[in-house]
Amino acid sequence: MESKNISPAVIKRLPRYYRYLGDLLKSGIDRISSKDLSEKMQVTASQIRQDLNNFGGFGQQGYGYNVEYLYNEIAKILGLDKDYNIVIVGAGNLGTALTNYTDFAKRGFFVKKAFDIRPELVGKKIGNVEILGMDELESYIKNNQVDIAALTVPKDTATEIAVKLVKYGIKAIWNFAPVDLRLPKDVVVETIHLSDTLMRLSYSLKDKISK
């Protein structure tokens, strides 16, 4: 399905559509209008129609959207019709939390191994996921199918490790380190600045309190 020149804002909203449609399916709802979907998502009906029209549109006038069909089509747009193997680089608190998050597997994202520099962690497991030493990272990536590397290491080592990951063949990095990575254009990087979200929350809270 064609997705060239799609606004990043539209792409950012697609996972929300997918999530809400999944909830509708679980509730046994098989059809929904853009108006009803807009009320649930607090996005205007015209915005929903505009977003989906970027991919050809999926609704029928007077009928609305077939929930299951739209859910499956958005899954294809997001690349969720295939499975992805993930390695966690950094088995500290955040790396452990990500490894233990079972919802990833439900979406087709499977954590295969975790890696850490600390000798006392090597050989242990987070659930069913084994922790290997950083000296094994290169050989593991080169000898196994790894689609995504989640980077949960301190800021001062993140760039160095990210460069190595690219050298080893990784094309997608989920970056939780508080640093903006500058990597080749053919490498996809999604950076999650946890402190930034807290600061935005703080701003909104301050604004509420001041009124």
Domains and CATH numbers, the chain: 8-77 (1.10.10.10), 84-196 (3.40.50.720)
Q: Which stretches within the chain are classed as H helix?
A: 8-26, 34-41, 45-53, 67-77, 93-100, 103-106, 137-143, 155-168, 194-210
Q: What are phi and psi of 25, to 5 degrees?
A: -60, -45
What is the average per-residue pLDDT within 32-58?
A: 89
CB of 126 within 8 A of CB of 99? yes
**Using one digit for the tens of pLDDT, what is the confidence trace for 67-117?**
999 999 999 999 999 999 999 999 999 999 999 999 999 999 999 999 999
Ramachandran region of residue 56, left (φ > 0), alpha (ψ -120 to 50) or beta?
left
Burial class (CB in 10 A: 0-12, 13-18, 19+), 129: buried
Confidence band for 206, pLDDT divided at 50, 70 and 90: confident
Sign of CA dihedral 155, 172, 180, 126: negative
Angle at which helix 8-26 crosses helix 67-77, to 10 degrees, equals: 140
- What single-letter amino acid sits at 173? I
Mean pLDDT, rounded, of the chain: 92
Q: What is the pTM of this model?
A: 0.86
